[in-house]
């Protein structure tokens, strides 16, 4: 199965959107994208590298041999790239942000609610697609490792600037302070 | 529509699979190597990506009406750095074979001959995101990797350092970590485009080696197989941009080839033809245009230069002048291993002078372009001038092939794998007559207000310590000269008559900034990255000419020799028309025939004439410095 790579798991979901629900869905997404609090929660679920929701209004037509599609519904595409198991991931959505799950997938046919979690997992499993090829530029790094490393880089740059002019005794003290300060990131 | 979060972009594309071809496509995708060997790894600004075949929609039961797709679809999704258009360019240049193999199974795919059509196909089938979120929205792939690598080094040091006394701790830190540049720290700007594949780009281009001693060894290839084996033997030792950043070595090795050199190692015609004309004829072939006439003409050049014999240039740097000879001997050893297959035709040593000066006494090398995406933070004055005293970085494609340039596309390049991550090199030996320069200044300075030093500053456009005339017209100012933030932060548009900095001053000619009008647009595409070094011992002040050879080994990098080096040398140094100065040449670089003049603008102006030949060209070559993949390809031999 091409859905895992090192520390990463890929999930791909496609569901039909109930007519009339775009009225709710679009503003919900707009708010989510532009109000930092909502994306903040998602980012605090610190195992997600990149995630997105797209609405497929209609399938683009490219001429023969493609036949023009004539679908009854718009479709909601969801993909995520995350650390941990698939089960942990859906559990987290169900336990931590069930309301947001309602706002988003409540617009799709067949959504059983985010709580309890087993029917929710069945729903996702039924509507999931397997990636035939999955790529990540740094598959052995989790998001926590990465955000930690970026934070460490910043603090190290500041420390280096100060350290440049210090003699050995003063440097040793500054270094130990620095190490204490960044120990969570090592 | 929310395709962007921070500097990251979410691309989602759905294309119809040609009926009957679904099985083939699936087999192909599932057989692709994963991890660092995935073809998507070549598209280096990609964080994550996937291909998913969608065979059919899932029916949810009533009250939904059954909905069915008439074809199967291929979904491609990618989360990458920067804007969509440069990414599509990168995609089509880095993995054309895989694009053909994958999208060749889809209806409407137009092929890659017309890249515009391919991009239009992708955009036509693009699905916009409604909501896109990234965990580290401002960090590019390169920055993530650099941060992870740095963390390992800090951790390794922390372990080693436990139990050390203060002295040892301090010393070890300075050795291991103090010289570590924090390469990935610069936050990518909103206009960031592709970030750079530092592991494939040779070192010294994006970030200069700060070492004080270098050797330039030019090899002639007598036997193509030996030549290729020699290149193969250099692949491992060659210093890349990443290695320089992460692992500051004791010595460095880099390699470049002339057109004849590419021919000599067996590069086929169809690939050679893709190289530009000026590169093919070489610097000697461009002598007229460059002003290399009289004593500077190719017939008077040092042996080995300008004759077509120069094939492979190996540039070695060392941490000190003492460690360089052993490093050179190592290289000479590898050459003699190939017996008569290779021979050395030119050997040049160089070393920094005290205080970063060049032989005429001027501080040199500190004014360089700021390159977007290089990881090196741009300083004021290095980039492109914007309104309100701001500057922006220059697009990477002005210097390294395979990245977007200031024209918005990719620079012309030989076909992959040669083109990507390579650059063109100018190697130019400039002999300086220091005694002549000093005696000229003494004479001409007698009647000049401010004397010798001010006259020298007017000729160059900076005081000897680097203070720009524009910022300090009457005297050098160490507070400016020693401040990286200030020393390049100036423009010329406010000095249209050259009263502060003469119109023909050396720094004004070599980088006119906004002097040519249109806010700098006329200078934009003629920038150079300079990595030269003085050669020969310093001539003590007040000493007469000692007959010892000294000067500057001028080395510069650019994506296009004709547009960059040749415009600067041919039109701005060797001529004055662009500045309204007729045929006046750059006074510092001298005239080959002892005629010529310079006007030092002022009330009243001061004319200096005749123009002595301070600088004579002793030889030079145009070369191509390939990326690592390209170097490997050259070593393995490229198919005809």
Strands B423-432 and B551-558: antiparallel
* B49/B147 same-domain check: no
* B58/B163 same-domain check: no
Distances in whole angstroms, Cα of residue B337 to Cα of each of B225, B331, B334: 13, 10, 5
* Contact predicate B230/B325, CB 8 Å: no
User: Which residue is associated with the tokens 């192909």?
Assistant: B28
* B25/B52 same-domain check: yes
Residue B114 lies in a domain: yes
| B392, burial (CB in 10 Å: exposed 0-12, middle 13-18, buried 19+) | middle
Give the Cα-Cα-Cα angle B388, B391, B395 (nearest 5 degrees): 145
* Contact predicate B207/B181, CB 8 Å: yes
A138 confidence band (pLDDT: 50, 70, 90): very high
Domain residue spans of chain A: 4-126, 143-185
Whether the predicted model's global pTM rises above the 0.95 cut: no
Q: pLDDT for B563-613, tens place per residue?
A: 999 999 988 899 888 888 888 899 999 777 778 889 999 888 888 888 899
User: Which residue is associated with the tokens 């998001």?
Assistant: A143
Residue B456 lies in a domain: no
The parts of chain B modelled with pLDDT lower than 70 are: 1, 178-194, 245-248
Q: Do B48 and A163 touch (CB under 8 A)?
A: no
* Contact predicate B198/B206, CB 8 Å: yes
Which CATH number is A4-126's, of 1.10.3470, 2.60.120, 3.40.50, 3.30.70?
A: 3.30.70
Its domain, for residue B164, covers 141-178
- Predicted local distance difference test score (pLDDT) of residue B287: 95
B422 Cα to chain A: minimum distance (Å): 22
Q: Which residues contact B518 (CB under 8 A, 6 or more apart)?
A: none
* B157/B50 same-domain check: no
B67 Cα to chain A: minimum distance (Å): 6
User: Domain tally for chain B?
Assistant: 2
Residues of B within 8 A of A135 (CB-CB) are 34, 38, 40-41, 46, 48-50
Q: Which of B52, B174, B197 to mutate to test the interface with A (most CBs of A within 10 A)?
A: B52
Alpha helices in A4-142 (DSSP H): 22-34, 36-44, 86-96, 98-105, 117-126
> How high is the ipTM of this complex?
0.93
d(CA B74, CA B50): 10
- Predicted local distance difference test score (pLDDT) of residue B121: 97
A62 Cα to chain B: minimum distance (Å): 5
Residues of A within 8 A of B147 (CB-CB) are 146, 149-150, 152-153
Q: Which of B28, B50, B182 to mutate to test the interface with A (most CBs of A within 10 A)?
A: B50
The CATH number linked to B54 is 3.30.70
A125 Cα to chain B: minimum distance (Å): 11
Helices (H) and strands (E) in chain B, counts: 19, 18
Q: Which of B71, B121, B136 sits opposite A66 (nearest CB)?
A: B71
* B97/B163 same-domain check: no
Q: Do B50 and A135 touch (CB under 8 A)?
A: yes
* B117/B15 same-domain check: yes
Q: Do B10 and A56 touch (CB under 8 A)?
A: no
Q: What's the mean pLDDT in A66-77?
A: 95
Q: pLDDT for B400-451, tens place per residue?
A: 999 988 887 888 899 888 888 999 999 999 999 999 999 999 999 998 999 9
d(CA B474, CA B471): 9
Strands B533-535 and B384-385: unpaired
* Contact predicate B317/B252, CB 8 Å: yes
d(CA B446, CA B214): 38
Q: Which of A12, A141, A148, A153 to mutate to test the interface with B (most CBs of B within 10 A)?
A: A153
Per-residue H/E/C for B167-187: HHHHHHHHHHHHCCCCCCCCC
Q: What's the mean pLDDT in A98-120?
A: 88
pLDDT of residue A119 exceeding 80, the answer is yes
* B27/B98 same-domain check: yes
* B9/B110 same-domain check: yes
- Predicted local distance difference test score (pLDDT) of residue A90: 86
Residues of B within 8 A of A84 (CB-CB) are none
Q: Which residues contact A177 (CB under 8 A, 6 or more apart)?
A: none
* Contact predicate B379/B485, CB 8 Å: yes
Which residue, B159, B178, B197, sits at the end of a domain? B178
Q: Do A135 and B46 touch (CB under 8 A)?
A: yes
Q: Do B41 and A137 touch (CB under 8 A)?
A: yes
d(CA A49, CA A94): 19
Q: Do B29 and A132 touch (CB under 8 A)?
A: yes
Residue B45 lies in a domain: yes
């Amino acid at each position: 199965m091409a859905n895992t790579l090192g520390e990463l798991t890929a999930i791909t979901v496609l569901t039909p959107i109930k007519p009339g629900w775009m009225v709710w869905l679009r503003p919900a997404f707009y708010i989510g994208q532009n109000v930092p609090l909502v994306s903040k929660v998602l980012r605090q679920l610190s195992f997600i590298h990149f995630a997105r929701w797209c609405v497929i209004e209609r399938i683009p037509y490219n001429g023969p041999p493609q036949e023009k599609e004539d679908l009854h519904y718009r479709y909601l595409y969801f993909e995520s790239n995350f650390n941990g198991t698939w089960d942990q991931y859906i559990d987290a959505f169900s336990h931590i942000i069930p309301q947001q799950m309602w706002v988003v997938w409540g617009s799709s046919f067949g959504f059983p609610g985010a709580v309890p979690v087993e029917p929710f997992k069945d729903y996702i499993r039924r509507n999931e697609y397997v990636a035939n090829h999955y790529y990540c530029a740094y598959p052995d790094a989790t998001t926590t490792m990465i955000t930690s490393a970026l934070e460490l880089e910043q603090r190290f740059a500041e420390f280096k600037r100060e350290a440049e002019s210090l003699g050995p005794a003063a440097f040793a003290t500054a270094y130990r302070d620095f190490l204490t300060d960044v120990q969570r990131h090592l | 529509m929310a395709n962007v979060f921070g500097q990251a972009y979410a691309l989602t594309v759905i294309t119809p699979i040609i009926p009957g071809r679904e099985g083939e496509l699936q087999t192909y995708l599932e057989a692709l190597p994963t991890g660092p060997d995935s073809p998507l790894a070549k598209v280096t600004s990609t964080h994550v990506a996937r291909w998913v075949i969608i065979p059919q929609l899932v029916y949810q039961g009533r009250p939904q009406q059954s909905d069915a797709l008439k074809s199967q679809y291929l979904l491609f999704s990618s989360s990458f750095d920067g804007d969509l258009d440069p990414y599509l360019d990168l995609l089509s240049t880095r993995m054309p074979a895989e694009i053909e193999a994958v999208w060749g199974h889809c209806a409407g795919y137009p092929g890659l001959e017309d890249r515009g059509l391919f991009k239009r196909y992708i955009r036509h089938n693009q699905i916009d995101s409604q909501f896109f979120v990234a965990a580290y929205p401002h960090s590019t792939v390169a920055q993530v990797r650099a941060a992870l690598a740095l963390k390992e080094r800090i951790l390794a040091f922390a372990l080693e350092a436990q139990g050390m006394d203060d002295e040892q701790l301090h010393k070890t830190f300075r050795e291991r970590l103090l010289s570590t540049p924090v390469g990935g720290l610069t936050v990518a700007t909103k206009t960031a485009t592709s970030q750079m594949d530092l592991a494939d780009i040779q070192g010294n281009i994006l970030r200069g080696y700060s070492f004080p001693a270098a050797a330039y060894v030019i090899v002639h290839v007598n036997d193509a197989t030996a030549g290729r084996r020699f290149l193969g033997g250099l692949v491992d030792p060659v210093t890349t941009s990443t290695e320089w950043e992460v692992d500051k070595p004791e010595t460095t090795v880099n390699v470049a080839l002339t057109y004849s050199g590419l021919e000599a190692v067996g590069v086929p015609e169809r690939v050679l033809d893709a190289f530009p004309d000026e590169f093919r004829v070489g610097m000697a072939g461009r002598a007229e245009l460059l002003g290399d006439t009289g004593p500077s003409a190719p017939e008077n050049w040092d042996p080995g230069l300008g004759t077509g014999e120069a094939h492979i240039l190996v540039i070695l740097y060392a941490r000190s002048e003492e460690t360089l000879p052993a490093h050179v001997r190592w290289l000479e050893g590898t050459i003699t291993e190939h017996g008569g297959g290779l021979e050395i035709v030119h050997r040049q040593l160089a070393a920094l002078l005290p205080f970063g000066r060049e032989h005429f006494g001027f501080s040199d090398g500190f004014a360089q372009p700021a390159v977007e995406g290089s990881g090196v933070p741009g300083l004021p004055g290095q980039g492109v001038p914007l309104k309100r005293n701001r500057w922006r970085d220059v697009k990477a494609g002005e210097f390294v092939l395979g990245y977007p340039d200031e024209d918005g596309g990719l620079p012309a390049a030989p076909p992959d794998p040669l083109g990507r991550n390579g650059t063109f090199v100018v190697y130019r030996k400039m002999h300086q007559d220091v005694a002549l320069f000093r005696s000229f200044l003494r004479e001409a300075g007698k009647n000049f207000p401010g004397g010798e030093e001010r006259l020298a500053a007017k000729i160059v456009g900076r005081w000897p310590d680097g203070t720009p005339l524009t910022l300090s017209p009457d005297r050098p100012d160490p507070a400016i000269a020693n401040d990286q933030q200030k020393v390049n932060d100036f423009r010329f548009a406010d000095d249209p008559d050259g009263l502060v900095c003469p119109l023909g001053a050396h720094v004004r000619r070599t980088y006119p900034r906004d002097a040519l009008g249109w806010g700098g647009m006329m200078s934009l595409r003629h920038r150079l990255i300079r990595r030269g070094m003085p050669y020969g011992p310093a001539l003590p002040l007040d000493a007469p000419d000692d007959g010892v050879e000294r000067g500057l080994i001028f080395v510069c990098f650019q994506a296009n020799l004709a547009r960059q080096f040749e415009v600067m040398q041919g039109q701005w140094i060797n001529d004055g028309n662009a500045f309204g100065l007729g045929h006046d040449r750059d006074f510092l670089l001298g005239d080959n025939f002892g005629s010529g003049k310079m006007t030092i603008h002022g009330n009243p102006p001061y004319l200096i004439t005749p123009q002595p030949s301070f600088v004579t060209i002793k030889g030079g070559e145009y070369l191509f410095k390939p990326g690592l993949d390209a170097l490997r390809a050259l070593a393995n031999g490229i198919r005809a």
